[in-house]
Structure 1
């Protein structure tokens, strides 16, 4: 006759009182140690004993309770970009979040796809963050910044093509990248320049101002700029390469290094000589571009580091009364190699 197994006994979560008993200290000492309270001096042996007890019991401080005691959270909301291939590389974002965690902030990524500025700001405000850092395409309006401030956010940081009133605004003018690429090709004597426009929605958002920058650079040089829509796949690249000579172009700025490498390979397969017939320039200075033959010319994009941005957020949180500022985040410079 089978026996019905008894359900496992659920153990209650360990508390700071459990840690205090195991370590032989007071609950206040546990709080000071685990919250790294700077104003209270605790001996190193006691710190080690408390941390060992917490580790043994599997105790984790309750973030909400800690926030209530402190009067504010340590949560930084980072809305996630709506599409891959955004304006910042993954390494930047990794460094940014790692440094925020080192500074004892809790980073919460928030999927904001489909939300407009004010609607997104209300959703972020519900989490009562100490800071909101908008690195993607969803940006708060001036009203949204005020709403976040009234909800307790000490800092609102935005990154985009233009600043937002009331926020610490980091301006990334994508036009500079296109202008830099076109200017380099013009200096190399090219006068009929194609500009690849990715069909991916996220990349397209950045490609449009890069096209504007290329057009502005070519305007006074009597050069022609031809937009070239292309998906990031082999077949569209091959189709574009197949009709290349009919376009009568002597150069191409291919949005970024990935698109440039894809198109350059397709052009070579079609028998188009790079750079004799067509010069090719990308952007981003990927290592793989230096390993190709011919080596890929590119636009190097210089920005602040992720760690520097985390430091800016921390200063803004600690000095909430400081006036919001707007600053340039990005510089672009050409890197001439064999493909141009």
Structure 2
């Protein structure tokens, strides 16, 4: 840890409640490091000198964990709720959730996932917030809640990922899909997405990005395929696209990609010989189909997860979170299987 301690003003020390951010500033380390030290989190590479500096700063400031103070004063539990729907669920599942949960647990917080398939879902979420005495609700675009949605309960809403990073992530996925298909020799490419509101902003962003990437590569414009739970209709669109020279289809998510595989089978096409298919989000079902679905998944490395935890902690403590460049927030990985 090469951070150097900085001076904390008398005004900061005189506040009614000392926060973890104050301890971090005085000791010259990040809030995450303070959390690891104060919660004795195992498996962290923290030098003895840094640990002593954090403990000394906490003692000097008479720091008390915010969760304990709030539980005593307000009857709250230190619970955070991660709110997702069918569109944002792939973003917040698996390694992302477990990694973020572990980091917040080290800081004394419990993270609960909440997946609601209905629109609007706010009343059910309100009941959960009340029942668990949650202190904050975390959301991920495109699911949005007003910042004061639960103000009457004393609960804040924190947008876990900024709009900039969300749009950048959609662009990264589309870029990776097009790059994989073009590298495989495909020139005329279709993009499949759910029609209407079901497709959502993410799908439309990916469609536009795919078209932009193909134009930059001097390839023909993307051919949109709209899926509205009508397999015969999607089959007709796919047949027309293939007859027009399309040899590959990228899909906004794996659910739509699997629908394209079904349409290809219905049309008598062989995948990938007649038409290649690539999805997004790496749904577990994709590996079970024949042919197994090639897909693109978005991942956060350890640094990205640390930043995400810092963002949450900063919001909870009432501080302005640091914002890295959008390109540094996430990485794509292409899971190559049989379909493309």
Q: TM-score, normalised by structure 1?
A: 0.58
The structure where helix makes up a greater share of residues is 2
Corresponding residue to 1:261 among 258, 270, 290: 258
Q: What is the aligned counterpart of 2:232 among 219, 232, 235?
A: 235
The alpha-carbon deviation at position 229 of structure 1 amounts to 0.8
Cα distance change on mapping 1:247 and 1:78 into 2, 3 Å: farther
Distance 1:304 1:233, change over 3 A: farther
Equivalence for 1:336:
336
User: Does the Cα contact within 8 Å between 1:196 and 1:228 map onto a contact in 2?
Assistant: yes
* Matched residue, 1:158: 160
Q: Cα–Cα, structure 1 residues 71 and 216, in superposed 2: closer, same or farther, change >3 Å? A: same
Shift of 1:216: 1.9
Question: Equivalences for 1:77-96 in 2 at 5 Å?
Answer: 78=81, 80-81=83-84, 83=86, 86-91=89-94, 95=98
CA–CA distance in structure 1, aligned partners of residues 339 and 78 of structure 2: 47
**Which stretch of the first structure deviates more once superposed, 174-183 or 330-339?**
330-339
* C-alpha distance 325-115 of structure 1, shift in aligned 2 (>3 A): farther
Following superposition, the deviation at residue 271 of structure 1 comes to 2.2
Is the Cα contact below 8 Å between 2:193 and 2:225 reproduced in 1? yes
Superposition CA RMSD, Å: 4.5
- Aligned pairs for 1:282-301 (under 5 A) are 282-301=279-298
Query: Is 1:191 the counterpart of 2:182 in the alignment?
Result: no
| Equivalent residues in 2 for 1:29-40, closer than 5 Å | none
Go from structure 1 to structure 2 and tell me whether the alpha carbon gap of 1:128 and 1:171 turns closer, same or farther (over 3 Å shift). farther
Task: Indicate whether 1:134 and 2:139 are aligned.
Answer: yes
Instruction: Note if contact 2:88-2:143 (Cα within 8 Å) is conserved in structure 1.
Output: no
Equivalent pairs, count: 261
SS of structure 2 residue aligned to 1:88: helix
User: Equivalents in 2 of 1:91, 1:72: separation in Å?
Assistant: 31
Shift of 1:253: 0.3
- Within the alignment, does 1:204 sit opposite 2:200 as a pair? yes
Give the 3-state SS of the residue equivalent to 1:196 in structure 2. strand
1:222 aligned residue: 218
Partner SS, residue 174 of structure 1: helix
SS at match of 1:285: coil
Judged with a 3 Å threshold, the aligned counterparts in structure 2 of structure 1 residues 74 and 180 are, in CA distance, closer, same or farther, namely same
- Report how far residue 251 of structure 1 moved: 1.1
CA shift in 2, pair 1:299/1:317, >3 Å: closer
1:272-329: CA deviation from partner (whole Å, max 9, x where unpaired): 23223322111223344334443332213213689868844664367544x3222444
Gaps of 5+ in 1: 1-37, 40-64, 164-169
Confirm whether residue 326 of structure 1 aligns to residue 329 of structure 2: no
Report Cα offsets for 1:142-194 as digits up to 9, x if no partner: xx48x97xx685x834325326xxxxxx7752121112111211122211110
**TM-score normalised by L of structure 2:** 0.58
Do residues 281 (structure 1) and 278 (structure 2) align?
Answer: yes
The higher radius of gyration belongs to: 1
Name the CA distance, whole Å, in 2 between partners of 1:296 and 1:232: 19
What's 2:314 paired with?
316
Q: 1:310 to 1:287 in 2, by over 3 A?
A: same
Deviates more, 1:209-218 or 1:194-203: 194-203
